[in-house]
Amino acid sequence: MRGQHRRHPAWPSKALLALAFVLPCTAALAAQTTPVSTTPEARTYDHILDTVVARYHLPGIALGVIENGKVVYVATRGETIAGSGRKITPRTLFKIASNSKAMTTALLGRLVDQGKLHWDDPVTKYLPGFQMYDPWVTKNMRVADLLTHSSGLPEGGGDLMLWPEPNAFTRADIIHGLRYIKPGYSFRSKYEYDNLLYVVAGEVAAAAGSAPYETLMHREVFQPLGLSRCQVGQWNRDAVGDVAQPHSFRDGRNVPEDEDGPVIPAITSAPAGGIRCDLDDMLSWARNWLVPTPAQLQWLSAEQRHVLQSPHMLIPVSEQRRDWDDSHIMAYGYGWRMTDVDGTWTVWHTGTLDGMYSELMLLPDQKDGFVFLINGEAESARTVLGEALLKHFTKPDDTRGVTWYADALQRADEQATKRAAAPDTSAATPVAPAVLAAWTGRYRDPWLGDLMLCPRNGRVHFAVAKSPRLNGDVMRLGNRDLVHWSNHGMDPDAWLDFHPAQGGQPATLTMAKVDPLGDFSSDYEDLHFVRTGDCP
C-alpha cells in the first residue's frame, strides 16, 4: 500500500518531440550534477548519510544536495537488490511515490498557461460523470479542490482501490466509486490527506489536454525539462535498466519485495504516486524550482509557479515539529507542503510506497535544497535524514545530529505504541467453516466491490475480487475475528465485525485495523459489505 508502516503521529505523516529550448537547458543541468567531494560540507554530508545508513540498515540510497542553485554533492550507497552486487548510481530509478503529485500539478499548471484549463473550473466540466457523496460538493468541486486534501474524504479514503498492487481497479472505477465514500468532515474545512482526487486530477488533465495522462506527462513535463530517465505508463525494465527494487527488513536483513517483471505496467495510481525517476533527474527537477532559467520560465510561468507553491490549506503543526524546528505554520499548496523551519521557509514533499521512500526539500529564498531516494523500509530513516540535512541549512550550529534525532524519534514511537498498542495476534487460531457458517457467503461493498468469504481447505478464506492481494484466512483471537493477510507485505491485519440481518435487510460486515497506528491507506474502516448470496 501507500506505506506498510506505523505512522509517526507527530509527522503529517505511487514519443513526442521536446521543445526547441530544451537542449541547452538540459546540458546545463547535466553539468551541475558533478559532486564536489573534498569540501568540509561534503564531508559533513558523508557523515550524515553514512550514520543514517548504518543506523537503519538501508539497502540502498541516492542523495543529492543543492547549494545556491548548484548541485554540490551527489552520493549513493548500497544495491538495487540486496546481495545482487548491482550498486545504486545517480542513474538508478526509484519509485518517487507521492512526489509524483507535484509533477501532476505542474502538468495542470502547463494546461492553465496554455488556456486549456482554469483552476476554478468545475471538475464536472471535464468529467461529467464525476460525483462525490454530497451532490452539493459535486457541483462545487473545482479543479483546485482536487489538489489540497480538503475535499471531505476521510484520510486515505478509497486508497484500497489503488493499493495493494496489482489490482483491477481502473481510473473510471475510482471516479465512479467516489460517490459512495462517506465524508469524514465538511468540504474545505480541514486537511486530510487523500490520493484518489489526484487520480481524478490526472483524468482532468487528460480531458483538457486531449491525450492520456501518461502521454501528457512525457510531452509536457519530462521532455521539456530533460528528465530523460523518468518513467510513467508501461515501459520495459531491461531496456531502461538500472532499476531499484523495494525491500522489507525481516529477520535482521533486507529482503526484496514485489520485484518488477520484465514489463512494468501502466498503473491507475500514477498521478498520485506512480512515477519513477533517478537522482540526476530529481535534482534537475528541483533546480527548475529553485533557479529556473528563462527557458524554464517559458515552460511554466512565474504566475503558475507561485500558485503551485503557495499555501492553500492549513495543516496542523505537531508538537514535535514545534520542538525540533520552531515551526509556526504548515500548509499545503498544489502538490507541495510548506513550513517555516528555524525562521526559514521550506517547500517540500515526501513519497511512501511499499519498500520505497523519498523526500524532496526546497529552501527557495536561499536557492538550497536536497533530494534522496531509498529502496527499503525507511520511515524513521527518512525523518531523521531529512531533519539532519535540513538543519545544515536552517541551523548550522545545531549540535544534536543524527543520533540525537534518531533516539528522540524512537522514544516518541515507543510512547505512541504504548498509548495505542496493537494486540498480540500470535495466539490467533484459524476459524473452522462450521463456526462461521451463519456468516459465510458473498458480500459487496459499493466501491471496493465483491468479496468471497467462503470455506477453503478447512478454513474460511477472505478474498476481494478486484484486489487479489486482499486475501487471507479468518482467525479467532479471544471473542473477535480477524483476517490474516496471506502476503507478508499486507500489514496491518483487519478485524471483522459481523452484523445480523434485520428489518428485512441482509447481514453486513464492517472492518477495522488491528493495529490502530497502521497506515491510513489501509482504510478498512470506510468499508461496508452487504451480504448478497451464498458461497458457490
Q: Give 432-490 pLDDT, tens digit per residue.
A: 999 999 999 999 999 999 999 999 999 999 999 999 999 999 999 999 999 999 987 78
Please state, as a whole number, how many other Cβ atoms lie within 10 Å of the Cβ of residue 439. 19
User: What is the Cα–Cα distance from 493 to 8, expressed in whole angstroms?
Assistant: 19
Binned at pLDDT 50, 70 and 90, residue 2 comes out as low
User: What's the pLDDT score for residue 12?
Assistant: 34
Q: Which residue is it, cell 506498510?
A: 4
Could you write out the DSSP letters of every residue in 246-315?
Answer: -EEEETTEEEE-S---SEEPP-TTHHHH--EE-HHHHHHHHHHHHS--HHHHHHS-HHHHHHHTS--EEE
User: What's the pLDDT score for residue 174?
Assistant: 98
CATH superfamily of 22-416: DD-peptidase/beta-lactamase superfamily (3.40.710.10)
Binned at pLDDT 50, 70 and 90, residue 37 comes out as low
* C-beta separation of 495 from 514 below 8 A: yes
* C-beta separation of 127 from 204 below 8 A: yes
User: HEC states along 135-179?
Assistant: HHHHHHCECHHHHCCCCCCCCCCCHHHCCCCCCCCCHHHHHHHHH
Q: Is pLDDT of 427 > 60?
A: yes
User: What residues contact residue 436 under an 8 Å CB cut-off, 6+ apart?
Assistant: 453, 460, 474, 481
User: What is the Cα–Cα distance from 263 to 165, expressed in whole angstroms?
Assistant: 15
User: What's the pLDDT score for residue 34?
Assistant: 39
User: What is the Cα–Cα distance from 212 to 205, expressed in whole angstroms?
Assistant: 8
Q: Which helix (H) or strand (E) holds 456?
A: strand 449-456
Q: Is pLDDT of 36 > 60?
A: no
Q: Is pLDDT of 10 > 50?
A: no
> Domain 429-533 carries which CATH code?
2.40.128
Q: Is pLDDT of 106 > 50?
A: yes
User: How much of the chain exceeds pLDDT 70, in percent?
Assistant: 93
* C-beta separation of 473 from 459 below 8 A: yes
What mean pLDDT, rounded, does the chain reach? 93
Please write the tens of the pLDDT for every residue from 486-502: 987 788 999 999 999 99
Of the ranges 3-17, 316-330, 412-426, the best mean pLDDT one: 316-330
Residue ranges, comma separated, of all CATH 3.40.710.10 domains in the chain are 22-416
User: Is the dihedral angle over the CA atoms 18, 19, 23, 28 positive or is it negative?
Assistant: negative
User: What's the pLDDT score for residue 23?
Assistant: 29
Please write the tens of the pLDDT for every residue from 127-136: 999 999 999 9
Residue ranges, comma separated, of all CATH 2.40.128 domains in the chain are 429-533
Mean pLDDT to the nearest integer, 107-124: 98
Q: Is pLDDT of 418 > 60?
A: yes
User: What residues contact residue 418 under an 8 Å CB cut-off, 6+ apart?
Assistant: none
| Cα angle value 4/249/56 (rounded, 5°) | 100
Mean pLDDT to the nearest integer, 29-46: 63
pTM: 0.93
Q: Is pLDDT of 167 > 60?
A: yes
User: What is the Cα–Cα distance from 253 to 276, expressed in whole angstroms?
Assistant: 25
Q: Is pLDDT of 162 > 90?
A: yes
Q: Is pLDDT of 20 > 50?
A: no
Binned at pLDDT 50, 70 and 90, residue 25 comes out as very low
| Cα angle value 410/385/98 (rounded, 5°) | 100
Mean pLDDT to the nearest integer, 218-231: 98
